[in-house]
Structure 1
């Protein structure tokens, strides 16, 4: 009976070790994903405007999916804010480039303009900006990669 129990324990331990080793280090996977998107992010965000931020959303969502637990919440905060702005612009049938000096383009209703303005305020909120800083710091400190949002 003891040898059977010992055999089962060894089997369970070896299976657990194989499972854990096959998962890989989540931080390494995140850093690889971040580095893999680096050039595309640089090109997309290079213009420094809201349109670039919205265009980068699919990349940000991929990084959120790959992010380790300690930074995932910050990616979620960023992506929720950017996605909200993108949705508000889509619903209004305009792009971020259509706004000049913060003024809505002709043909947009007051309600649509308010929704876009509220979403833009969320993107520039302290909460979102702090999340952005933490994401960038994590990229530098852990992944040794520059990420400028």
Structure 2
């Protein structure tokens, strides 16, 4: 039995579509992983973050800020809001401390340094308070979870 020309063309077209799909799938394997830069940064920042949080002191988040900023810069879109919230809140605290001329390592809220105005103390308290909110805790958990799930590397805070 002889096949018609249209049946051969359909088979040929179907084979071409399958070949194109297979090639597209294989070429996707060679493309850069959209998370590669971020995951490389996660690995690079693991040691500095561990060191910043090792003592568990009150300045750990401030000490971690350069690492957090580097991670924020490389963060993929699905976690950029969390990094933005976290980095923004730490930067706000640093700005409030700097504006008041206060050293974060020696600042004692209950015994503020002489010359600290009520407005400066209020700004520091407000910025520090924002770091203790559920939204900040959720952002911290989100970035840690992303690192574990996508990069298979923990970020320990």
> Shorter chain as normaliser: what TM range?
0.7 to 0.9
Name 1:123's counterpart in structure 2.
131
Name 1:61's counterpart in structure 2.
69
Name 1:114's counterpart in structure 2.
122
Q: Gaps (5+ residues) in structure 1?
A: 1-16
Q: Greater relative contact order: 1 or 2 (C-alpha under 8 angstroms, separation 6 or more)? A: 2
Name 2:20's counterpart in structure 1.
none
Name 1:35's counterpart in structure 2.
43
Alpha-carbon distance in structure 1 between the residues aligned to 2:60 and 2:50: 10
Change (3 A) 1:128 1:102: farther
Residue 56 of structure 1 aligns to a residue in which SS? helix
Q: Deviations over 1:33-86 (max 9, x none)?
A: 110111111112212223221122121111011011111110000000000000
Alpha-carbon distance in structure 1 between the residues aligned to 2:111 and 2:124: 11
Alpha-carbon distance in structure 2 between the residues aligned to 1:76 and 1:82: 10
Alpha-carbon distance in structure 2 between the residues aligned to 1:90 and 1:137: 32
Instruction: Let me know the Cα RMSD of the aligned residues.
Output: 1.9
Q: TM-score, normalised by structure 1?
A: 0.79
The total of aligned residue pairs comes to: 130
* Residue 99 of structure 1, CA deviation: 2.6
Name 1:146's counterpart in structure 2.
154
* Residue 127 of structure 1, CA deviation: 1.0
* Residue 103 of structure 1, CA deviation: 4.0
* Residue 100 of structure 1, CA deviation: 2.9
Name 1:75's counterpart in structure 2.
83
Q: Gaps (5+ residues) in structure 2?
A: 1-26
Name 1:7's counterpart in structure 2.
none
